[in-house]
Chains A and B, each alone.
Chain A
Amino acid sequence: MIELRRPLVLVVEDYQDAREMYAAYLQFSGYGVAEAANGLEALEKTRELMPDIILMDLALPKMDGWEATRRLKADEQTRNIPIVALTGHALAGHAEGARQAGCDAFVTKPCLPDALVAEIERMLAVRRGDGASRRSTRSSSKSKTS
C-alpha cells in the first residue's frame, strides 16, 4: 500500500448486523469505513466524505440502491467513485438492473467478509490501474490482507 491514508469504504446497508459485520471486517482488513442505512444517507455521506469505494445494498428504505447509484453516477463530483452492488436477490434481472444503474461490480449475498474484501481490493486495483489480478465475484480464493 503506497497511499498514506487508508482507503475509505462507504458501506450502505439497512440491516444493521450485516452493516456492522462488514464494517468490522473491513477495519480489521485495514480499510477506513463509513456507514449509511439508506439511499439518502448514502448520497449525503458520499458528498461529505468522498469515499474511495461504495458497497451498495440495492434493497434500501427511503431511497433504494439503484436510484442512489443513478444519482451518484449522474453527479460530476461523484461519478468516478466505484460502486459494488450487494443484493440478496439472485433472480434474473437484478445484476443487469444494477449495471444499468451504473454499478461497477456485483456481489450476491450471502457473501462472506473475506470474499467481499477481495472484491473491493480488486476494484481498487483496477481503479489504480496497477493491473491487480482479476477475480470472479464468486471466487473463493482467500483475501490477502496486509
Chain B
Amino acid sequence: MYRSAAPVDSLTEADPSQIEARLALTELLLASGDLQASARQSIDWLALHAGVQQAVVAVSDPVGSNLLLIAEHGISSTAIADFVIDRGDVNHPLVVALSRLESTYFSPSASTRTPLDGIGFHAVPLRVDEDPPAGLMLVSGTSPEIHPDVLWLARQLARQLARLQSAPGTMDKRLGQERMLLYSIINAVTDPILLTDTEGKLRIANSHAEKLFAAPEDASEGWRRAVALNNMLFSAALSTSAVGQTDLSRRELLLVDPLEGSDLLFELLSSRAKDERQGTYVVSILRNITDLARAREEIEESYRTLRVSQAEVRDERHRLDLIIDSVADPILVTDPEGDIVLLNEPAERLFTVPTTAGESPQRHVRGNGANLTSFVSNVLTRTGEQRYSGEIQLVEPVTGRNLPVEAVAGTILNDQGELVWVVTILHDLTQTLEKEALYEQLKQASAELERKVHEATAELAQQNELLRRQHIELEQASALKSQFLANISHEFRTPLNAILGYTHMLLHGVTGPVTDPQQKSLTRIDSNSRHLLALINDILDITRIEAGRMPLNLTQFKVSDLVVEVMSELEPIIRRSNLTVTAKVKRGVPTVKSDRQKVKQIMLNLLSNALKFTPTGSVTIAAAFDRRHQMISVAFVDSGVGIPQESHSKIFEDFRQLDNSPTRSYGGTGLGLSICRRLAQMLGGAIDLVSQVGEGSTFTLKLPARARRR
C-alpha cells in the first residue's frame, strides 16, 4: 500500500530562489522557540513552496503515549478537533509509519482514520537519523513520488523538534504539549468559546462555536445567512461592550440557531487576555441561557407564589397561635415519636420550664412529659379510633400542686392515611373532682340528716304512740274515776236517803209526838243531812261535766218564764229574807235556744247566792239582749257585802267561800259558782262579776241566744 520514497537532499540541485526560500525558513526556525509556531510556519512554507494543499503535524505528547496534532493546513478545525493517535495501538497504519525510517504513502483508498483519508498522502516520520521519531508529518500528494522539499523540510522540522524538546527547550516543549491539552479541553467544553484579536478577527473557535459562526461549503442559503447574522451580532456585541483591560464583561446576546432558525439567548462572557508573543486578544464564552431565562421566569413566578403562600401560612399560623393561646386549656401537638411540635401558652406552663428554674420544677416538668408521652403512646396503639380520652395526673411545676386532668386526644392523618400528629387537649379536673367531693359530702350529710330525721320521726312516732296509750290510759282512768265517783255518790245516797226519810218521819210525828229538845236535835240532823246531800249532788255534777258526760238538751224557751220560775222556787227564802226582790226583763229579749235545765240551775244558784249574802236591801234580776253580739245577759244585782277585787277569781274555784272556816256564817257547798261557770262555758257563755266590798255585787250570766252543740 505504501512505498518508501527515496530521500532527497541536494541543495546543489536546487535553483537559487529555492535555496533562498530554504535559507529563510531555516533562519526562521532557528529564531523560533515555539514548537507549534515552528510546525505552523513549516507547513505554511510547504504550501507556498511545494504546492502542498493539505498538511498536518503531530508530535508525541510529553509522556510519549499519544500523537497530538499541533499544526494543520487546508483542513477544517472541526475535522482535526479530536485528532489523537494512541502510540500503543501498534497496528495503526500511522503508528507503523512512525516507526519507519522513510516516509510511507497512503493512497486515497487507504483507511487511516485521519483527516486526510480519501485524498492520498505521505506520512513522513520526523526523526533525525536513527533517533526515535519526535512526530509525524502528513502531507497530501497524488502520487507516491514525494516532493524533495517535503523531505528536506521533514529533516529541518525534525531537527527543530529535537532542538526544542531537548534540554534548552524543555519549557517550550512542555508548553506546546499543554497547549494541545488546552485545545482538547476547549473543544470538550459544551459552551461555544471564541478567541478573537482586538480587531475582532476570529483566531480560535471550538466546535460548538463553529456551529454558530461557520457554515460548511454545502450549507443551505438560510444557514449561511444565519451564520452571517450571528457573526455580525457577535462583532457588534464585542465592539459595543466596554471590555475593560482585565474585567470580565457579561451581557446577553440573542443569536439564531442556524439549523433550526429558532432564537437562542446566550450570556456572553468576554474578557481580555494578554500574551507576550501573540498580543492582546479577547476570550468569549457563550452560555446558552434560553432555557435558563425561561426557567428563571418560572422560578420567579413560583417564588412569588411561594412568598404569597408563605405569608398566608404565616398569617394562618399566627391566627392559629392566637386561637390556641386564647384557649385556657392546655393544647399540645405531638408527632408519632411523642415529641412536642406545638403547644399553647397554658401547656407551656406545664411542660416547659426555664433552665434557671429550680430542681423541683424541672423534675415536675419531666414527670409531666413522661405522663403525656405515656398517654400519647396509648393513643397510638388505638388505631382506628379518632378520639381517645383518659385521665392524667400532672403536677403544676412551680407550686407542686397536684393537677388531675382529663386528656382528650385526636389524631391527624395525612392523605396517605398515616398518622402525622396527635392533638391533645387537657382539661383541669380539680374543680370537677372538688365538686364531686363536695357533692359526695353533701349527699352524705343529706343521708345523715335523713337518717336523723328518720330516727327523730320514729322516736316521735314512738312518743306519740306512748302519749296515745297514756291518753287512753288516762281516759280510762278518768272514766274509772267518774264511774267510781258516780258509784260512791250512789252508795252515799242510799244510806242518806234512809237518814233523811226517818228524820223526816220523826219530825212529822209518824212515830208519835216528839219533845221540843228532840225536835231541835232532829232538825239539826235533817239540815246536816241535806247539806251532805247537796255536796254529793254538786260533786256528781262536777264529775259529770269533767267526764264530758253532761249531755246538752237544747230547747226553745223564754228567759222571762225562767226568771218567774226561779223566783217562785226560791219564794220561801225570799219571803224569809225581808229583801226587796224585783225582776226586770227588757223588751226585745228573744226566745232563747239553750239547755233550759242548766240555765235554770245557774240562775237558781246565782239568785240564792245573792239572797244569801245580802243582809238588807234589795236584789234585782235584769235580763237584756245584746243584738250586735246576739248575747243574752241576766244580771243578779245585790246590795250585799261585796267581794274584794283580789278575790274575784278565787270565788269561782272549787270549794271556795270567802270565809273558809268550818264555822262559816254562810251555808252552801262552795261548789256552786264553780259548777255555774262550767255550765255557762258548756253553753258557750260566761259569768262576769262586778263587785266591791260594801258596795254589793253584780253577777252577770251571758249566753249566746242560740247555743251550739259541741
Residues of A bordering B, CB below 8 Å: 15, 17-18, 21-22, 24-25, 28, 88-92, 109-114
Contacts and interface: CB of A to CB of B under 8 A. Distances in A.
Given A18-B494, A18-B497, A24-B505, 14 more contacts: A18-B498, A18-B501, A25-B501, A25-B504, A25-B505, A88-B494, A89-B490, A91-B486, A109-B494, A109-B497, A110-B497, A110-B501, A112-B501, A113-B504
Pick the most buried of B493, B544, B551: most chain A CB atoms within 10 A of its CB: B493
A141 B421 CA distance: 126
B549 interface: yes
Contact of B549 (A22, A92, A109): A92
B537 interface: yes
Contacts of B655: none
B490 A17 contact: no
A121 to B, nearest CB: 16
B540 interface: yes
Interface string B486-520: 10011001111110111011001010000000000
A22 B502 CA distance: 9
Nearest to A29: B510
Contact of B493 (A17, A28, A109, A112): A109
Nearest to B482: A91
B11 interface: no
A110 B497 CA distance: 5
Given A17-B498, A25-B510, A112-B501, A92 B551 contact: yes
Contact of B510 (A24, A88, A111): A24
Given A24-B510, A92-B551, A113 B486 contact: no
Contact of B505 (A15, A28, A88, A111): A28
Pick the most buried of B495, B502, B551: most chain A CB atoms within 10 A of its CB: B502
A110 B493 contact: yes
Contacts of B505: 21, 24-25, 28, 113
B24 interface: no
Contact of B490 (A24, A88, A112): A88
B342 interface: no
A54 B549 CA distance: 30
Given A15-B494, A88-B494, A114 B504 contact: yes
B500 A90 contact: no
A91 B502 CA distance: 26
Interface string B534-561: 0001001000100001110000000000
Contacts of A91: 486, 540, 544, 549
A25 B549 CA distance: 35
A30 to B, nearest CB: 12
B533 interface: yes
A88 B493 contact: yes
A18 B498 CA distance: 5
B500 A112 contact: yes
A117 to B, nearest CB: 11
Nearest to B510: A28
Contacts of A28: 505, 510
A115 B501 CA distance: 10
B494 A89 contact: no
Nearest to B498: A17
Contacts, number: 56
A58 B571 CA distance: 34
Given A17-B498, A18-B497, A21-B502, A110 B550 contact: no
Nearest to B487: A89
Interface of B: 486, 489-490, 493-498, 500-502, 504-505, 508, 510, 533, 537, 540, 544, 549-551
Contacts of B533: 110
Nearest to A108: B493
A92 B541 CA distance: 11
A90 B540 CA distance: 8
16 contacts: A15-B498, A18-B494, A18-B497, A18-B498, A21-B502, A21-B505, A24-B510, A25-B504, A88-B490, A90-B537, A91-B540, A91-B544, A91-B549, A110-B501, A112-B500, A113-B505
Pick the most buried of A21, A28, A110, A112: most chain B CB atoms within 10 A of its CB: A110
A89 B486 contact: yes
Nearest to B572: A140
A22 B493 CA distance: 15
Pick the most buried of B501, B502, B505, B544: most chain A CB atoms within 10 A of its CB: B501
Contacts of B495: 17
Nearest to A111: B497
Contacts of B486: 89, 91
A21 B500 CA distance: 10
A90 B501 CA distance: 19
Contacts of A18: 494, 497-498, 501
A18 B490 CA distance: 14
Pick the most buried of A15, A25, A109: most chain B CB atoms within 10 A of its CB: A109
Nearest to A115: B504
Nearest to B529: A110
A22 B498 CA distance: 9
Contact of A21 (B501, B549, B551): B501
Contact of B500 (A22, A92, A110): A110
| Minimum-distance CB pairs A-B, first 9 | A110-B497, A88-B490, A21-B501, A17-B498, A28-B510, A88-B493, A109-B497, A92-B551, A113-B501
Contacts of A114: 504, 508
A28 B442 CA distance: 95
Contacts of A24: 505, 510
Contacts of B490: 88-89
A88 B497 contact: yes
A92 B496 CA distance: 21
Nearest to B536: A110
Contacts of B508: 114
A53 to B, nearest CB: 19
B150 to A, nearest CB: 187
Contacts of A17: 495, 498
Nearest to A142: B508
A17 B498 CA distance: 6
Nearest to A87: B490
A115 to B, nearest CB: 9
A21 B504 CA distance: 10
A121 B505 CA distance: 18
Contacts of A110: 493, 496-497, 500-501, 533
B681 to A, nearest CB: 19
Nearest to A86: B497
A5 to B, nearest CB: 22
Contacts of A88: 490, 493-494, 497
Contact of B498 (A21, A89, A90, A92): A21
A106 to B, nearest CB: 14
Pick the most buried of B500, B537, B549: most chain A CB atoms within 10 A of its CB: B500
A92 B540 CA distance: 11
A25 B537 CA distance: 25
